[in-house]
Amino acid sequence: MSDYLATGALPDEYQQLAKTVADFAKTVVAPVAAEHDANHTFPYEVVAGMADMGLFGLPFPEEYGGMGGDYFALCLALEELGKVDQSVAITLEAGVSLGAMPIYRFGNEAQKEEWLPQLTSGKSLAAFGLTEPGAGSDAGGTKTTAKFDSGEWIINGNKQFITNSGTDITKLVTVTAVTGVKDGGKKEISTILVPTTTPGFTAEPAYNKVGWNASDTHPLTFADVRVPEENLLGERGRGYANFLRILDEGRIAISALSVGAAQGCVDESIKYAKEREAFGRPIGHNQAIAFKIARMEARAHVARTAYYDAAALMLSGKPFKKQASIAKLISSEAAMDNARDATQIHGGYGFMNEYAVARHYRDSKILEIGEGTTEVQLMLIAREAGL
């Protein structure tokens, strides 16, 4: 994949994957996107289709039910889905990079064998329980607790804005919780696997959101939730550090989704500019419109190059934290800027929810917030630059 940056051509297997997902997005996702968005319904039939295609198993080994691909393959799929429906794309992104990936990265063999085949098949979903009412960008402010007693973890606390946490196929939530105090008084934060059928676990009513209306998002409550000792994921006290690694990877995936959104706005605007006539000719013949679309295309291209670069570093085993933050910063802003410009190009029609650009306008804002805000990315980039 890294050869792309030098040659401009993706290997055949990546090109074929992108084409297959693009066809699926056009024929299966697009026809129902507006309805699910309007009704705030989870697209179970679309998710089932993605599961049948093996998309939830893309970056995982075949021994765990995966497709034997890599993280870049996931990113290509997210980009194609993001062009059409961000809700569907974030369902896949969260299901893989936030749901299954922590178990693959940090789980023991028993945990992998129990959970990964379910998750890589797409028949079940897992969620990533990090954010709390008082701990968003400052994840170290975690207040949820897990006390160890008689061979069990007893969990109490709340999480919020958790994707894929309340669907009919959600089977697991990985939770960050304070499990003690380290030397110096700092919180010891660990990660614990909580099956959704565990007594005391509640997915509260879904949020009424500005966008991503077909994505499942809930606050969660843990009231004396008891799980066995072996549900500890990874080393005790390493939960925060491990989740930071997951977020670094996830930022590349969110960048890919954002690029898809940015490119989708370009594609819709080009189509509209060729069809819509004003003053006797297509509006695309007007330099003001043509130049606006040209800038939109440039934003999408630069953002795509950024996430390709970050993914190449990650897959080669090189440091990629700064590049992931750069990609996330550039691509999320490109998505929001392109959504605004696309809405303007469409005029009154761009303000109608049945148009894809209207959904992108509502959906894209969260891309500048979720998995690390714009301000957090700037902080991380500055820190990596030595400031």
pLDDT of residue 100: 98
Q: Is 237 left (phi over 0), alpha (psi -120 to 50) or beta?
A: left
pLDDT of residue 269: 98
For 4-124, the fitting CATH number among 1.10.540.10, 3.30.1370.60, 3.30.70.141, 1.10.10.10 is 1.10.540.10
Q: What is the mean pLDDT of residues 330-358?
A: 96
pLDDT classification of 9: cutoffs 50, 70, 90: confident
- Confirm or reject CATH 2.40.110.10 for domain 126-237, answering yes or no: yes
Q: Which residue has the tokens 């075949």?
A: 62
Domain spans of the chain, in order of start? 4-124, 126-237, 241-384
pLDDT of residue 366: 97
Four-CA torsion 37, 373, 336, 40, nearest 10 degrees: 0
Collect contacts of 10-19 with beta carbons under 8 A, ≥24 apart: 14/72, 14/73, 14/76, 17/69, 17/73, 17/76, 17/77, 18/76, 18/77, 18/79, 18/80
Statement: residue 257 has pLDDT above 90 = yes
Between CA 308 and CA 256 the distance in angstroms is 9
Token pair for residue 370? 């979720």
Between CA 251 and CA 73 the distance in angstroms is 15
Return the sign of the alpha-carbon dihedral for residues 265, 5, 306, 99: positive
pLDDT of residue 288: 96
pLDDT classification of 2: cutoffs 50, 70, 90: low
Q: What is the mean pLDDT of residues 114-136?
A: 94
pLDDT of residue 79: 98
At the fourth CATH level, the homologous superfamily of domain 241-384 is Butyryl-CoA Dehydrogenase, subunit A, domain 3 (1.20.140.10)
pLDDT of residue 135: 80
Residues annotated as catalytic are: 371
CB 256 within 8 A of CB 209: no
Minimum mean pLDDT range among 178-187, 279-288, 313-322 = 178-187
Statement: residue 233 has pLDDT above 60 = yes
Q: What is the mean pLDDT of residues 129-133?
A: 92
Statement: residue 92 has pLDDT above 70 = yes
Mean of the per-residue pLDDT values for the chain? Answer: 95
pLDDT classification of 240: cutoffs 50, 70, 90: confident
CB 124 within 8 A of CB 169: yes
pLDDT of residue 89: 98
Minimum mean pLDDT range among 62-76, 138-152, 169-183, 222-236 = 138-152
> How many residues are recorded in the chain?
387
Q: Which residue has the tokens 């693009």?
A: 22
The string of pLDDT tens digits covering residues 171-214 is: 999 999 999 998 877 899 999 999 999 999 999 999 999 999 99
pLDDT of residue 4: 60
- Which of 353, 345, 349 has the alpha carbon at shortest distance from 295? 345
CB 201 within 8 A of CB 225: yes
Statement: residue 6 has pLDDT above 70 = no
Supply the pTM of this predicted model: 0.95
pLDDT of residue 10: 87
Four-CA torsion 132, 33, 44, 172, nearest 10 degrees: -20
Collect contacts of 354-357 with beta carbons under 8 A, ≥24 apart: 354/34, 354/38, 355/268, 356/30, 356/33, 356/84, 356/264, 356/268, 357/265, 357/268, 357/269
pLDDT of residue 97: 96
pLDDT of residue 5: 52
Statement: residue 3 has pLDDT above 80 = no
- Which of 246, 256, 146, 141 has the alpha carbon at shortest distance from 193? 146
Q: What is the mean pLDDT of residues 57-70?
A: 96
